[in-house]
Amino acid sequence: MYIINKMSFYIKKYMPMSIKLKIIEN
């Protein structure tokens, strides 16, 4: 479970950045 929690933490941390990058690309 620790690994899953860490992955979800990174997803929450970095998904907004990737969304911003996609918006900038488009």
Domain residue ranges of the chain, discontinuous segments joined by +: 1-26
Please give the pLDDT value at position 1: 64
pLDDT, one tens digit per residue, over 3-24 is 888 888 888 887 877 777 777 7
Q: Residue 15 to residues 9, 12: CA-CA distances in angstroms?
A: 10, 6
Side-chain-side CA neighbours of 18 within 13 Å: the count stands at 6
pTM across the whole model? 0.37
Cα gap 18→5, rounded to integer Å: 20
Cα gap 18→6, rounded to integer Å: 18
